[in-house]
Structure 1
């Protein structure tokens, strides 16, 4: 094969719930160009959703196909390869054994993407796509990805994501969970609709009474639905009338799988998923005023390939995550009546200290984002109770969905938020011992910084508008100006200084200057 040596060839292998796919691409004149795309049907999702595990027979089949994929990658001279797995692996109880065997048998390291990671990568590609379409950039939308085992659900206000939630219920999982009922009643579609309403109906999005202007859907079944509706893509995007989708659902919801299969020339397994996917799509239409469903031809591996082949895309992607995570967190903070002026102030202070201590803490920009999220959300516990507000904040934050953040990261954020001037992380605390030693160290470092920043606005009256931070030998010198009574801030700072010194070895010193004589 003829290709320039500096034209890198990359491969993405996506181990999905019902399909194993490989895409090989390279960058030509700034555009990603596909060299080869391969697909192999698997039923991992069905096994996991019904039995809880991936069978070893399926593992052997997966391993065999991956060997074949490896040979093809060698033929094309692939320089870098990313292997990812999604819902089926996430939910499999024996995933550690399966991952270990794939490493041993195939010398492949599989990254099991968390729900938030998977959806955020897809959403980033959708927003890239929308920003290229005239007049779509400024419009608000509900953006949803319907997978085999999960539904991703985000709200875009025209500038940022303001809401993000993942629901553990996809087209395949929905069918496998309720499939046994189908033989007991001819009114099965009512069961599905009621079950979906019990989950999706409780979602309350913070946007114009829960209604947005546009509905943007992606998922494995959308191309099939578009084909049945005789809708052709224009510029790699389907635009399907909502009424057409509703009519199709009414038509098939009381039909058997066999009849759906014969009617539309598809196999029975696809017919099962078609019904489940349509039921989910119809449920989402109620959140919008749109007469159309927009469905760009975007997949997970588009984002993964971009990150591998296009320089600087990694930085751009992180900035996308950061902006939208903060936007979502601020929207959540409004719901819990948090003081935004206070959180903005200590977020600024915390970042100043974090940046100045870079050589001492060794933490990356992702951990800096967790510090920002903790500053935004730390007062949320007061919404529940003033008596145990720190513990309430911890319980709320650890279970909150924030755009682009993993469960592990939100747990770290929750820990950072739950300590004030009286309390510090304690290695004897049973709850604290539940997280890994690595994460305990990260929490301790972030808590040391957060407590110091929080102390500087203890009164929540922004008496210190800004601070200057400087390292001088073994001291962290913080200077500020204020003509107000700052005795509360000085007291809180002194309370928090010893733990900071214990963690970093630097003694914090606060100097507040006044222009009053």
Structure 2
């Protein structure tokens, strides 16, 4: 093979409809070979009914990877339609048949990888996103709808309008009404209702990027290209032509079979409503997918790509903190102190870059429970975070953030607590270490007055001296530090000591 000198990487990605393989040159993120399974049994969107088809496709992919000499590859799958236990069972069934271990991706991870792929691969994305731009990513159980403004990620929403759900509603409506399209249009509108107040009064023209609309992509995106652009007037012309057409006309127009035709009208209804809602003038169809985002993540992990895409995760955390009215200056100050402690104490906590990011996120969101009640706010923070998964984080990482927020104040992790017991021992240690660091940082701004200009850290035997540089009265900070430092001593066996240093003006 001519690619032997290149660093090749294999990505296998499975949805509830099919399995895909991409063989990628990591340095250029160029796909040199791809393969796709046949669509699964359309009568069910459940993996379990298609296990033998999945295994056959995966074993074929493994042979192709071997033919290219690809030794580094991973297998991911969309978990939107599965609970944790079902995913574990299915993963074991796949492993028995293929020796492949599956890494399940939740909705927030899928949204993140799709968004990073668009940012990196879509031609002229910087120019497009200089003004208001939306990304509509279609999924099996949910649709993600993200907003970019001034070339930066701004926000994202999940909408319960996945392929399987819309298919089920469409099938149920056909025999029950003389005009199922009209009823389906109302149904889709109801799912977008919560976004109307967000965009009410918005007059700024915007662009809409549409991802994962396979049948529409095949019709419009030229061979060898990754996108196609049309204006809203052209889209409306197609919309009016299709919306009341027969299934046979739509099948002929898009060159699809009866299994695919059921998705097309709902797609157009959804896109039409999004266009009206957000004042879209330009539409970009793209076949850039989650696999492109997974390749980018791998390139970043091995040091080939240097993009700082974690800003998306931090922005999402800031959005939650803002929604629950936490103090921006306090969370920024606590983040600065906590990350300084993390960086200075690497030789005792043995945590990596990913845990540093989790600590930063926890500093941003730990006080959101105050919105509900200041008393026991840390518990409120935990259950809000359990219900609001942060974009780009795995289920385990989201759980770590929730638990660190639970323990950032007066409550410490204890073996008899059910929510701490259920964590794996390795995760328990991460929670305890990060919570111990966050508690110290939070104590040093207990007054919310930013009295401490900077800190320095010195390890001396069984003590850790934190020198706080300030000319103000730190009585409250000293009291809080004394109350919150016990967890650090229990976890690391090192006693934190706070000493104030005056600064010469």
Bigger mean CA offset, 158-167 vs 271-280: 158-167
C-alpha displacement at 1:91, in angstroms?
A: 5.5
Contact 1:139 1:157 in 2 (8 A): yes
Aligned equivalents of 1:246, 1:335: Cα separation in 2:
35
| Among candidates 452, 458, 479, match of residue 446 of structure 2 | 458
Residue of structure 1 equivalent to 2:166: 174
Contact 2:141 2:160 in 1 (8 A): yes
Secondary structure at 1:424's aligned position in 2? coil
Secondary structure at 2:127's aligned position in 1? coil
Contact 1:90 1:114 in 2 (8 A): no
1:197 has 2:186 as partner: no
Contact 1:218 1:298 in 2 (8 A): no
Residue of structure 2 equivalent to 1:498: 486
Aligned equivalents of 2:162, 2:392: Cα separation in 1:
19
Q: Name the CA shift for 1:510/1:409 in 2 (closer, same or farther; >3 Å).
A: same
Residue of structure 2 equivalent to 1:35: 32
Aligned equivalents of 2:203, 2:368: Cα separation in 1:
25
C-alpha displacement at 1:409, in angstroms?
A: 2.1
| Among candidates 212, 216, 225, match of residue 216 of structure 2 | 225
| Among candidates 131, 135, 139, match of residue 131 of structure 2 | 139
State the number of aligned residues.
505
Contact 2:129 2:148 in 1 (8 A): no
Secondary structure at 2:44's aligned position in 1? helix
Aligned equivalents of 1:325, 1:34: Cα separation in 2:
27
1:367 has 2:359 as partner: no
C-alpha displacement at 1:377, in angstroms?
A: 1.7
Bigger mean CA offset, 163-172 vs 369-378: 163-172
Contact 2:445 2:477 in 1 (8 A): yes
Matches within 5 A, 1:9-24: 9-24=8-23
Deviations 1:211-262 (A, max 9, x none): 764333333325x33565x675896321122233334334333344344324
1:6 has 2:5 as partner: yes
Contact 1:54 1:94 in 2 (8 A): no
Residue of structure 2 equivalent to 1:333: 321
Contact 2:80 2:106 in 1 (8 A): no
- The TM-score normalised by the length of structure 1 is 0.88
Residue of structure 1 equivalent to 2:93: 101
Contact 2:79 2:87 in 1 (8 A): no
Residue of structure 2 equivalent to 1:185: 177
| Among candidates 394, 403, 410, match of residue 398 of structure 2 | 410
| Among candidates 114, 127, 131, match of residue 119 of structure 2 | 127
Q: Name the CA shift for 1:314/1:121 in 2 (closer, same or farther; >3 Å).
A: farther
In structure 1, runs of 5+ residues without a counterpart are: none
Aligned equivalents of 2:114, 2:142: Cα separation in 1:
13
Secondary structure at 1:163's aligned position in 2? strand
Aligned equivalents of 2:337, 2:55: Cα separation in 1:
51
Contact 2:400 2:427 in 1 (8 A): yes
Q: Name the CA shift for 1:135/1:23 in 2 (closer, same or farther; >3 Å).
A: closer
Contact 2:471 2:502 in 1 (8 A): yes
Matches within 5 A, 1:269-288: 269-288=259-278
Aligned equivalents of 2:126, 2:399: Cα separation in 1:
40
Aligned equivalents of 1:311, 1:512: Cα separation in 2:
40
Secondary structure at 1:47's aligned position in 2? coil
Secondary structure at 2:208's aligned position in 1? strand
Q: Name the CA shift for 1:38/1:457 in 2 (closer, same or farther; >3 Å).
A: same
| Among candidates 74, 80, 91, match of residue 72 of structure 2 | 80
Contact 2:129 2:152 in 1 (8 A): no
Aligned equivalents of 2:369, 2:249: Cα separation in 1:
53
Q: Name the CA shift for 1:447/1:264 in 2 (closer, same or farther; >3 Å).
A: closer
Aligned equivalents of 2:301, 2:326: Cα separation in 1:
39
C-alpha displacement at 1:501, in angstroms?
A: 0.3
Residue of structure 2 equivalent to 1:488: 476
Contact 1:119 1:145 in 2 (8 A): yes
Deviations 1:172-217 (A, max 9, x none): 3311244222211122123322222222221378689667643333
Q: Name the CA shift for 1:330/1:341 in 2 (closer, same or farther; >3 Å).
A: same
Bigger mean CA offset, 245-254 vs 84-93: 84-93
Matches within 5 A, 1:307-346: 307-308=297-298, 316=306, 319-321=308-310, 323-346=311-334
Secondary structure at 1:128's aligned position in 2? helix
Report the RMSD for the aligned CA atoms in angstroms. Answer: 2.9
Residue of structure 2 equivalent to 1:252: 242
Bigger mean CA offset, 247-256 vs 208-217: 208-217
Q: Name the CA shift for 1:267/1:516 in 2 (closer, same or farther; >3 Å).
A: closer
Q: Name the CA shift for 1:289/1:220 in 2 (closer, same or farther; >3 Å).
A: same
Aligned equivalents of 1:248, 1:479: Cα separation in 2:
67
Residue of structure 1 equivalent to 2:464: 476
Deviations 1:137-165 (A, max 9, x none): 53331122112332122221224322123
Residue of structure 2 equivalent to 1:161: 153
Contact 1:356 1:471 in 2 (8 A): no
Deviations 1:118-151 (A, max 9, x none): 2212211211235745733533311221123321
Contact 1:85 1:110 in 2 (8 A): yes
Aligned equivalents of 1:458, 1:310: Cα separation in 2:
37
Aligned equivalents of 1:64, 1:397: Cα separation in 2:
39
Deviations 1:373-423 (A, max 9, x none): 121122222222234422222222222243312343223212222335532
Aligned equivalents of 1:415, 1:92: Cα separation in 2:
19
C-alpha displacement at 1:512, in angstroms?
A: 0.7
